[in-house]
Structure 1
Amino acid sequence: MAVTFRRSIRILPGVRLNLNRRSWSFTLGKGKGPRHTFGSRGRRTTSMNLPGPFGYRRTTTSRSRRGGR
């Protein structure tokens, strides 16, 4: 079994700092309504829980931080 490190720290109501072994991210928003996550690797995610089995998620990655060829 692999050893993992993951930590989520609440900075203010509705603001979290998420840490893991290789990167960090900030999450803005809480409970009802959209949540926006901004990662250290250039990834931005917007998500929202909708009633029933529905949900919304949109992820974008900045091209300047991508490890492309």
Structure 2
Amino acid sequence: MGFNFRKSFKIAPGVRLNVGKKGISSVSVGGKGARVSLGKKGTRTTVSAPGTGLSYSSYKPHKKSAPSIKRQPDFSNPDNFLGYPKSEWIVSAIIGFIILIGVIWIVS
């Protein structure tokens, strides 16, 4: 058997920071009915009916791209927002929100 360590910290209502042996393992956002977990390897989305035991979960691994010096925006794809995929904007917004909450918490 190997040594395991996992701890979850509540940052704000509905936001949890999960820490493992190798550092931050994921950030979870949401409550009982719906949750999105952003981890090192991918994103897991879970939707449930609280109290019934019924839930649906989907996992989407992060795509690994070849290293490049600088990515160029792709304005030809109609699914992109300002040239970049919407998922990147969502992840950036969540990280920015967590940093904002941390700064407010430290200041107050």
Scaled to the shorter chain, the TM-score interval is 0.7 to 0.9
The alignment-based identity, stated in percent, is 29
Q: Say whether residues 1:45 and 2:47 are aligned partners.
A: no
Distance 1:44 1:10 in 2: 19
Q: TM-score, normalised by structure 1?
A: 0.76
1:55 positional shift: 1.1
Q: Tell me, what secondary structure is at the counterpart of 2:17?
A: strand
Gaps of 5+ in 2: 66-108
Structure 2 letter corresponding to 1:26 = V
Greater fraction strand: 1
Amino acid at match of 2:63: R
2:82 aligned residue: none
Paired with 1:54 and 1:30, the residues of 2 have a C-alpha distance of 15
Find the structure with the greater CA-based Rg: 2
After superposing on structure 2, the runs of 4+ consecutive aligned residues of structure 1 that deviate more than 4 Å are none
CA offsets, 1:32-51, max 9 Å, x none? x210000023x100002226
Unaligned runs of 5+ in 1: none
- Output the amino acid matched with 2:28: T
Q: Which residue of 1 aligns with 2:26?
A: 25
Rounded Cα–Cα distance in structure 2 between residues aligned with 1:52 and 1:16: 23
The RMSD of aligned alpha carbons is 1.8
Secondary structure of the residue aligned to 2:64 is helix
Q: Relative contact order, CA 8 A, sep 6+: which one is greater?
A: 1
